[in-house]
Structure 1
Amino acid sequence: MKELVDSRNQNLWNEINQNYTVEFEESINNEYGVYSINNSVTFVIDKNHLCIDSFTHEILHIYMNMKDLYFTSSLKLTLLQSKILSENISVELIEHIGNCLDHIKMLPIYLELGFDRNKFIADYDYYKCNSEEIREFNKSYRTGKKINLKAVDPFIGRLVAILCDPNEDFNYSSDLNKLKKIDPLLFKIIERLIDHTKEIKVINRNIYEDNHRTVIANFYKNLTYWISQNNFRS
């Protein structure tokens, strides 16, 4: 553990140990991860590549839970209220969105502690969009005035990946302009989801201030409005 904890993340680590029973599991894909059940948390680590930056990233996911921020579980519960959303938004997309919203709140803390931005996510150097994807969206997203439901899931996923990318060296302006033209309303809804998440506090948040519940409730309200404004085909 000496390689994974130092003066920068020691306080976070102590806080987690005070609130959870902690276990470790060896990674089978050379990636770091974490999962929790009730008061137990298991960190998945790559024993062949001990990386304090990657480990701190996983600590911060649990720290979000400790601060009552549960984006993924709230998304799952909320989207089930809509037949069209629950049937066409994949579990993988929900987990991707929730993970990215966590990252929005985690990154400032991670950087403030002094960790390497380049190591915040495994695919930091990977550009999150390509021209072929945009061509495919232009081709298949709509048939006449109907939106292809099968294209909605990847469209949202691509937007979230771009808008939450921590790599400041990437310029997505051209890609975002092209994606916005495909579905301006849905684009605006995803933008608002990201911006709303940025606005909420992690600490010193009182009961009258926005939290993950209000963020996801607002997202759901906006999505239901988007549904009411469009026609769809399976």
Structure 2
Amino acid sequence: MEELLDFRNQNLWNEINQNYIVEIEETTNNEYSVYSINNSATFFINKNNLCKDSFTHEMLHVYMGIKDLYFSSSLKLTLPQSKILSENLSPQLIEHIGNSLDHIKMLPIYLELGFDRKKFIIDYDQYKCTDEEIMIFNKYYKIGKKINLNAIDAYIGRLISILCDPNADFDYSSDLKKLEKVDPLLFKIIVRLINHTKEVKVLDRTIFEDDHRTVISNFYKNMVNWISNNSFTS
């Protein structure tokens, strides 16, 4: 563990060990990750590339649980209440949304601890949108006046990737304007989801203040409203 810990993340490691039974395993895909359930947390590390930044990223995912912020699990419990959402938002997208909302809360802590922004995610240097994708949305997102159910998953996923990108050097303003025209109401809902998440406190949050439950509940209500205002086809 000496190669993964130093004065910057030692306290975080100590707090996790006070709250979880921790195991360390070698990754099978060269990527760092963590799986936590109840009071157990298993970290998967790349022993051929020991990286304190990547390990700290995974520790912060667990730290969100210590601070009672469970965006992914709340999404998985809430979205199936809608037939349209449960049938057309893939498990991969729901995982992507939850992971990205975690990242919104994690990044400021990660930077404050002194870790490298460029190592926060593995695709940091990858621009998260292409002209071809926008062209496809313009062409296939709607069939007549009805929304193509097969395009919803990709549209939301693309917006989430752009709006949660930690690379501040990328300018997505032109892409976002084009994506907003594809579905103005859904665009607004996703932007509100991101902004609402940013408003949630990690520390010193009282029971009267917003948390992951209120964020996901409001997101669900907005999505149901979006469904009621549209017609769909597949």
Look up the match of 2:78.
78
CA RMSD of aligned residues (A): 0.5
Alignment of 1:36-185 (within 5 A): 36-185=36-185
AA at the equivalent of 1:209: E
Q: 1:93 & 1:30 partners in 2: Cα distance?
A: 22
- Please report the TM-score for the alignment, with normalisation by the length of structure 1: 0.99
AA at the equivalent of 1:85: L
Identity percentage over the alignment? 75
Q: Which runs of 5+ in 1 are unaligned?
A: none
Please give the per-residue CA displacement for 1:127-176, whole angstroms capped at 9, x wherever unaligned: 00000100011110001110000100000000000000000000001100
Q: 2:217 & 2:38 partners in 1: Cα distance?
A: 24
- Secondary structure of 2:59's partner? helix
- Secondary structure of 2:81's partner? coil
1:38 is displaced (CA, Å) by: 1.3
- Secondary structure of 1:103's partner? helix
Q: 1:14 & 1:89 partners in 2: Cα distance?
A: 37
1:80 is displaced (CA, Å) by: 0.8
Look up the match of 1:34.
34
Q: Which runs of 5+ in 2 are unaligned?
A: none
Q: 2:123 & 2:205 partners in 1: Cα distance?
A: 32
Alignment of 1:11-22 (within 5 A): 11-22=11-22
1:56 is displaced (CA, Å) by: 0.1
Please give the per-residue CA displacement for 1:4-52, whole angstroms capped at 9, x wherever unaligned: 0100001110000111111111111110000012111000000000000
1:186 is displaced (CA, Å) by: 0.2
- Secondary structure of 1:102's partner? helix
Look up the match of 2:9.
9
AA at the equivalent of 1:193: L
AA at the equivalent of 1:119: K
Q: 1:143 & 1:90 partners in 2: Cα distance?
A: 21
- Secondary structure of 2:6's partner? coil
Look up the match of 2:227.
227
AA at the equivalent of 1:152: I
Q: Moved runs in structure 1, 4+ residues, more than 3 A?
A: none
1:184 is displaced (CA, Å) by: 0.3
